[in-house]
């Protein structure tokens, strides 16, 4: 007998009946039994050139009819159709031809019985169509014919999916297989060449059994057969794709090939059994010894071996501490190393930090004289008593000027090239720069020119010396263009009368039309002229009456606008886009001086330092119309509108509160008047959506997600639920048995005994732990006059929460405080009891946050026991949480055991095989905890009470660094009563059992 070759599809567990015991861990989820596996596969016939060559049966125990005739390798089509159509052979009336079989089938029901693969397509074939296909002889293109039957057996079906992606550019390929058992007849007459496979099976008619040589050896062989059910194959491919995404993100690898094994039970539930033939490629940032991993995976490419090798060849990438030089020089000033550690350096917001000017003795670089004097004043003090030393940038400009230079980038580039300003590493120094690539030399034009947060547009930002030089040139250029626009605007005002006359003359150019059109146009022109004359007369009378009011209104506008924001409209002749912008002046005195110098008849050039107040967009020239020019000359409407619009602008002085009160009083007085004010025209009604709260149905918790049988050693009657703001958490209260007996005796005797000191111990577990796992340890170490409170936080096991709501440490502190208040109302605990808190990892952070809220509400705090705790979310912990969040999001929802394996490997903990069964935490719960912790705040620094603390830090079951323990000790108000120890922890249950005896 030839030895069977090993294949990735065969496993020792496949030979026995596989029974699913529990869905806890995919590597240890199966047990073998002695019952043989009744493997189900649709009855399949393989055709070659229109001839049936091979028949695969679905079981080696159930009887199947004989198809292969004596001394013949061909299959009988009549028997094939009879078996697939489920027509029994009758002794009185024998079915010998396809025609008689077709007549019998037509009398019965026409049901779908099989699906065929013809030219790589799938068709469902009825009984009549199946017989007609063989009767007509249209089977030349038939490749495979499978029986479409549901799983009627008690056994479970096994599937194998092969995933391949050898090249990244090529698409992913899948191959789907099912398992089958067949007979292999090995003839002794041909020892060198094995005969072809004959599938034989014992039938009800023993006399028609195919005879074979007695010397031949018969062996049952397991074979893998391709599966063509597209619906099932699509379901398996989606599961495999999720598994591949999880492996690639969790272990930083690229999967080239793997074979996944699945099982489907009689309830059509699919279970993942494991991986085989894993072929991977490692990323560049993978934290492994890649060469050693590849050498080990060549011999054994199973997934179990891959997990073992990860722990063996994972290299630790510790962040190297930054080496600080002994001497630091900053603008001819030597700074000590100790001072450099506390140094705060401001960041320049400008775009020209790396730009320098070739001609250093000319142009606007003379402004640097003032900078040098400022630096001498600043660095001239030899004695510095401040703890932190800050290097402040010398200049401030409006952020609007920076955006303006980006919008007008082409014009600014011409100014820079004219003044020979390039980058430090430019190729155009001391050369001809006629052919300069502006995209490479001046990349600032690609920066953002819009601000999504509007208040940021009016803020002042700090810039360095180099940026100050460039922005001063840009400001000078914009000022020059501003003066030119104002002069052009003045010329437009002078010629507005002539333009108005031209407009009236244009109306008469249509006299070349027909006579009917001419009469209509004349009538319309006459009406328009009458209306214009009447309006001009009214405006003249108004202007003569309101000359005094005009002068007073203009003075008021100047005073109000000098202290507030301005609205300036861009000129029509400007090349920049026509937009409305605001700017905030910083120097009120300069604006008042410029307003005094300006007159209404003649406009002078404006010379204002726009590095501090921002670049102005200027007013748009009016349209050449008599009516509009007359309204602008009157000034009544313009002053009235400016008064009303200025009331909506925010004030920057100290009297803004009084201004708001006056504005409210004025709007209230105008409500009773018939005149509609500016404020009333801008009123809008906003409908605020109201949140509708619904009651939580805690009773259905176990029915929906976790059955009660998954909580061992805990009676559901003793577990209570506390509902608080769209979440519900379970808690369990433990008391000493002797205390209960003494309370019963006291109640029976009626004697008033002296009150004993009672202590309350509150335990909060780690990130994804279940506090009920510690029930046995708490019961063994509980002492008289002690009550222990075990509880799970939102997101942990058996909790109800809204995944769309983020709960940080402030919310959890309110939840814990509300729970203690409810227990106090039920007389389970008292306010005068001694309270002790135990926090493990994540629970320790919540305990420290709660200590900052209670202040003096709890009079007696016995102490805190913090194990692997932390008081702030630093960068290392944030990075770890974000990576874990990405992994948990890609993990399949129906496989939470993958999250256990990833987290255990991350925190270097021992493999706890019973964890998923005792701690059925969901993936949504993990994401809920991570999102809440990322949004949490550091509050331990504000704790005032002196609380005795015992800190313990270990190398296992821990995500944070030991620096967190030092921070807790340093920031605590009771340094003398804070003890910190470093222990080599083993199992987390054993660690707590050793520490509880001393703490309780």
Q: Give the chain's domains with CATH numbers.
A: 44-227 (no CATH), 718-745+757-999 (3.40.50.1820)
More confident residue, 652 or 240: 240
| Residue 793 confidence (pLDDT) above 90 | yes
More confident residue, 167 or 277: 277
Rounded to whole angstroms, how far apart are CA atoms 32 and 20? Answer: 10
Structure tokens, 131:
């017989």
Long-range Cβ pairs for the range 579-582 (8 Å, 24+): 579/617, 580/617, 581/400, 581/457, 581/617, 582/457, 582/458, 582/649
Structure tokens, 283:
């990323």
* Interval 703-729 mean pLDDT: 61
Phi, psi of 19 (to 5 degrees): -120, 125
Rounded to whole angstroms, how far apart are CA atoms 298 and 418? Answer: 66
pLDDT at 711: 44
C-alpha 672 chain-centroid distance: 53
pLDDT at 553: 55
List the single range of 311-325, 767-781, 919-933 with lowest mean pLDDT. Answer: 311-325
User: At CA 364, angle to CA 361 and CA 367, rounded to 5?
Assistant: 90
List the single range of 20-24, 924-928, 972-976 with lowest mean pLDDT. Answer: 20-24
**Which are the contacts of 75, defined by CB distance < 8 A and separation ≥ 6?**
45, 52, 53, 55, 67, 68
**Which are the contacts of 46, defined by CB distance < 8 A and separation ≥ 6?**
52, 53, 54, 55, 56, 143, 144
User: How sure is the predictor about 762, in pLDDT bands with cuts at 50, 70 and 90?
Assistant: very high
* Interval 557-580 mean pLDDT: 39
* Interval 199-212 mean pLDDT: 31
Beta partners for residue 799, in sequence order: none
Rounded to whole angstroms, how far apart are CA atoms 142 and 51? Answer: 9
Phi, psi of 313 (to 5 degrees): -110, 25
Phi, psi of 354 (to 5 degrees): -95, 15
pLDDT in tens, 836-866: 999 988 999 999 888 887 766 777 888 889 8
Q: Say what angle helices 626-634 and 515-545 make with each other, to 10 degrees.
A: 10
From residue 627, alpha-carbon distances to 465, 500, 503 in Å are 51, 9, 12
Alpha helices in 354-445 (DSSP H): 368-379, 399-407, 409-418, 438-441
pLDDT at 284: 76
pLDDT at 694: 47
pLDDT at 879: 86
Average pLDDT in the chain: 65
| Residue 814 confidence (pLDDT) above 70 | yes
Q: Give 21-85 as a DSSP string.
A: --SS-TTS-EEEEEEEP------EEEEETTEEEEEE-S-SSS-----BPTT--SBPHHHHHHHHT
Are 756 and 777 in contact by the 8 Å Cβ rule? The answer is: no
**Which are the contacts of 560, defined by CB distance < 8 A and separation ≥ 6?**
643, 646
Rounded to whole angstroms, how far apart are CA atoms 130 and 85? Answer: 9
Are 644 and 678 in contact by the 8 Å Cβ rule? The answer is: yes
List the single range of 249-253, 392-396, 880-884 with lowest mean pLDDT. Answer: 392-396
| Residue 615 confidence (pLDDT) above 70 | no
pLDDT at 490: 67
Rounded to whole angstroms, how far apart are CA atoms 727 and 695? Answer: 10
| Residue 947 confidence (pLDDT) above 60 | yes
* Interval 700-727 mean pLDDT: 57
More confident residue, 702 or 394: 394
pLDDT at 272: 81
Are 18 and 156 in contact by the 8 Å Cβ rule? The answer is: yes
pTM > 0.85: yes or no: no
pLDDT at 990: 64
| Residue 392 confidence (pLDDT) above 70 | no
List the single range of 277-286, 296-305, 748-757 with lowest mean pLDDT. Answer: 748-757
Structure tokens, 529:
């002229």
Q: What does the H/E/C string look like for 758-821?
A: CEEEEEECCCCCCHHHHHHHHHHHCCCCEEEEEECCCCCCCCECCCCCCCCHHHHHHHHHHHHH
C-alpha 510 chain-centroid distance: 67
Are 845 and 870 in contact by the 8 Å Cβ rule? The answer is: yes
Q: What does the H/E/C string look like for 832-877?
A: CCEEEEEEECHHHHHHHHHHHHHCCCCCCEEEEEEECCCCCCCHHH
* Interval 506-528 mean pLDDT: 52
Q: What does the H/E/C string look like for 955-986?
A: CCCCCCCCHHHHHHHHHCCCCCCEEEEECCCC
Note the maximum CA span of the chain.
Answer: 133
Rounded to whole angstroms, how far apart are CA atoms 39 and 14? Answer: 9
List the single range of 193-202, 206-215, 584-593, 743-752 with lowest mean pLDDT. Answer: 193-202
pLDDT at 855: 65
Sheet strands (E) in 121-187: 121-126, 142-147, 157-164, 173-186
Rounded to whole angstroms, how far apart are CA atoms 299 and 301? Answer: 7
More confident residue, 761 or 653: 761
User: How sure is the predictor about 961, in pLDDT bands with cuts at 50, 70 and 90?
Assistant: confident
More confident residue, 580 or 796: 796
Quick one: DSSP state of residue 191?
S
| Residue 654 confidence (pLDDT) above 60 | no
Exposed (0-12), middle (13-18) or buried (19+): which is 712, by Cβ within 10 Å?
Answer: exposed
Are 467 and 351 in contact by the 8 Å Cβ rule? The answer is: yes
Q: Collapsing DSSP states into helix, strand and coil, what is residue 145?
A: strand
Rounded to whole angstroms, how far apart are CA atoms 821 and 858? Answer: 11
More confident residue, 572 or 207: 572
* Among 366, 349, 354, 347, CA closest to 421: 354
Phi, psi of 364 (to 5 degrees): -75, 5
pLDDT in tens, 2-39: 444 445 444 444 433 333 333 332 222 223 322 233 33
Structure tokens, 289:
């010894």
Rounded to whole angstroms, how far apart are CA atoms 887 and 421? Answer: 50
Ranges 38-52, 572-586, 758-772, most confident: 758-772
Exposed (0-12), middle (13-18) or buried (19+): which is 884, by Cβ within 10 Å?
Answer: buried
Q: Collapsing DSSP states into helix, strand and coil, what is residue 425?
A: coil
Q: Which conformational region is residue 614 in: left (phi greater than 0), alpha (psi within -120 to 50 degrees), or beta?
A: left
More confident residue, 916 or 206: 916
More confident residue, 473 or 662: 473
pLDDT at 842: 92
Q: How many CB atoms lie within 10 A of CB 20?
A: 14
pLDDT in tens, 1-10: 444 444 544 4
Are 143 and 118 in contact by the 8 Å Cβ rule? The answer is: yes
Q: Collapsing DSSP states into helix, strand and coil, what is residue 122?
A: strand
User: How sure is the predictor about 333, in pLDDT bands with cuts at 50, 70 and 90?
Assistant: low
| Residue 772 confidence (pLDDT) above 90 | no
pLDDT at 92: 59
What is the distance in angstroms between the CA of the first residue and the CA of the last residue of the chain? 70
Q: How many CB atoms lie within 10 A of CB 414?
A: 13
pLDDT at 70: 38
Structure tokens, 846:
């919540």
User: How sure is the predictor about 748, in pLDDT bands with cuts at 50, 70 and 90?
Assistant: very low
pLDDT at 756: 64
User: How sure is the predictor about 67, in pLDDT bands with cuts at 50, 70 and 90?
Assistant: very low
């Amino acid at each position: 007998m030839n030895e069977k070759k090993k294949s990735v599809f065969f496993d020792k567990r496949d030979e026995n009946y596989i029974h699913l015991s529990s869905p806890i861990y995919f590597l240890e989820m199966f047990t073998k039994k002695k019952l043989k596996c009744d493997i189900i596969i649709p009855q399949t016939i393989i055709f070659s050139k229109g001839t049936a060559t091979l028949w695969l049966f679905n079981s080696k125990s159930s009887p199947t009819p004989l198809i292969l005739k004596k001394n013949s390798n061909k299959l009988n089509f009549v028997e094939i159709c009879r078996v697939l159509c489920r027509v029994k052979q009758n002794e009185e009336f024998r079915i010998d031809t396809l025609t008689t079989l077709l007549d019998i089938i037509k009398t019965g029901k026409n049901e779908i019985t099989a699906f065929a693969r013809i030219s790589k397509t799938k068709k469902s074939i009825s009984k009549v169509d199946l017989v007609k296909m063989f009767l007509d002889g249209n089977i030349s293109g038939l490749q495979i014919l499978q029986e479409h039957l549901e799983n009627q057996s008690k056994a479970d079906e096994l599937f194998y999916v092969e995933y391949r992606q050898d090249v990244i550019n090529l698409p992913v390929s899948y191959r789907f297989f099912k398992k089958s058992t067949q007979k292999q007849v090995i003839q002794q007459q041909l020892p060198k060449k094995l005969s072809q496979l004959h599938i034989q099976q014992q039938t009800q008619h023993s006399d028609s059994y195919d005879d074979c040589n007695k010397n031949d050896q018969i062996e049952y062989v397991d074979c893998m057969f391709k599966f063509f059910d597209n619906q099932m194959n699509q379901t398996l491919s989606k599961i495999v794709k999720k598994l591949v995404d999880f492996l690639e993100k969790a272990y930083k690898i690229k999967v080239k090939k793997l074979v996944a094994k699945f099982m489907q039970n009689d309830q059509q539930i699919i279970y993942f059994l494991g991986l085989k033939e894993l072929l991977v490629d490692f990323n560049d940032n993978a934290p492994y010894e890649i060469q050693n991993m590849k050498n080990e995976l060549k011999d054994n490419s199973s997934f179990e071996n891959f997990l073992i090798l990860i722990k063996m060849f994972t290299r630790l990438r510790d962040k190297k501490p930054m080496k600080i030089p002994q001497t630091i020089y900053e603008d001819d000033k030597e700074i000590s190393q100790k001072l450099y550690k506390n140094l705060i350096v401001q960041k320049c917001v400008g775009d020209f930090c790396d730009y320098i000017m070739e001609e250093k003795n000319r142009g606007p670089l003379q402004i640097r004289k003032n900078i040098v004097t400022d630096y001498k004043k600043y660095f001239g003090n030899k004695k510095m008593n401040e703890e932190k030393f800050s290097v402040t940038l010398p200049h401030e400009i409006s952020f609007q000027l920076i955006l303006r230079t980006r919008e007008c980038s082409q014009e600014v580039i011409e100014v820079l090239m004219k003044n020979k300003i390039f980058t430090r590493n430019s190729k155009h120094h001391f050369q001809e720069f006629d052919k300069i690539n502006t995209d490479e030399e001046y990349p600032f034009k690609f920066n953002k020119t819009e601000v999504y947060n509007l208040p940021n547009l009016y803020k002042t930002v700090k810039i360095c010396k180099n940026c100050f030089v460039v922005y001063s040139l840009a400001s000078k250029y914009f000022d020059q263009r501003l003066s030119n626009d104002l002069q052009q605007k003045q010329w437009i005002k002078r010629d507005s009368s002539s333009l108005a006359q031209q407009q009236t003359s244009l109306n008469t150019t249509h006299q070349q039309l027909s006579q009917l059109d001419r009469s209509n146009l004349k009538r319309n022109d006459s009406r328009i002229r009458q209306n214009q004359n009447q309006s001009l007369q009214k405006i003249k009378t108004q202007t003569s009456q309101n000359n005094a009011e005009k002068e007073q209104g203009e003075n008021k506008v100047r005073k109000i606008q000098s202290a507030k924001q301005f609205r300036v409209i861009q000129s029509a002749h400007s090349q920049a886009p026509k937009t409305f912008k605001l700017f905030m002046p910083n120097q009120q005195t300069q604006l008042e001086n410029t307003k005094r110098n300006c007159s209404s008849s003649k406009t002078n050039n404006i010379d204002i330092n726009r590095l501090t107040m921002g670049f102005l967009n200027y007013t748009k020239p009016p349209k050449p119309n008599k009516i509009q020019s007359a309204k602008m000359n009157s000034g009544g409407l313009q002053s009235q509108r400016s008064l009303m619009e200025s009331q909506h602008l925010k004030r920057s002085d100290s009297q803004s509160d009084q201004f708001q009160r006056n504005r409210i009083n004025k709007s209230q007085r105008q409500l009773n008047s018939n005149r509609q004010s500016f404020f009333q025209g801008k009123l809008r009604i906003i409908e605020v959506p109201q949140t509708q709260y619904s009651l939580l149905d805690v009773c259905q918790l176990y029915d929906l997600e976790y059955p009660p049988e998954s909580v061992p050693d805990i009676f559901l009657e003793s577990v209570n639920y506390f509902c608080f703001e769209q979440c519900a958490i379970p808690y369990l209260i433990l008391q000493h048995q002797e205390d209960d007996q003494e309370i019963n005796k006291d109640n029976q005797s009626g004697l008033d005994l002296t009150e004993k000191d009672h202590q309350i111990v509150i335990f909060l577990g780690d990130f994804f732990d279940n506090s009920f796992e510690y029930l046995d340890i708490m019961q063994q170490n509980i002492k008289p006059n002690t009550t222990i409170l075990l509880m799970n936080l939102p997101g942990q096991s058996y909790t109800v929460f809204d995944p769309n709501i983020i709960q940080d440490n402030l919310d959890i502190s309110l939840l814990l405080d509300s729970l203690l208040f409810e227990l106090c109302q039920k007389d389970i605990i008292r306010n005068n009891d001694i309270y002790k808190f135990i926090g493990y990892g994540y629970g320790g952070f919540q305990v420290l946050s709660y200590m900052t809220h209670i202040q003096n509400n709890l009079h007696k705090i016995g102490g805190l026991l913090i194990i692997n705790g932390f008081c702030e979310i630093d960068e290392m912990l944030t990075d770890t949480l974000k990576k874990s969040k990405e992994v948990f999001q890609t993990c399949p929802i129906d496989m939470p055991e993958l999250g256990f394996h990833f987290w255990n490997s991350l925190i270097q903990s021992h493999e706890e095989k019973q964890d998923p069964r005792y701690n059925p935490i969901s993936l949504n719960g993990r994401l809920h905890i991570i999102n809440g912790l990322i949004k949490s705040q550091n509050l331990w620094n504000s704790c005032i009470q002196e609380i005795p603390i015992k800190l313990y830090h270990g190398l296992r079951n821990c995500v944070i660094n030991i620096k967190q323990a030092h921070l807790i000790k340093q920031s605590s108000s009771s340094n003398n009563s804070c003890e910190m120890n470093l222990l080599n922890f083993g199992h987390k249950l054993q660690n707590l059992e050793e520490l509880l005896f001393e703490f309780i």
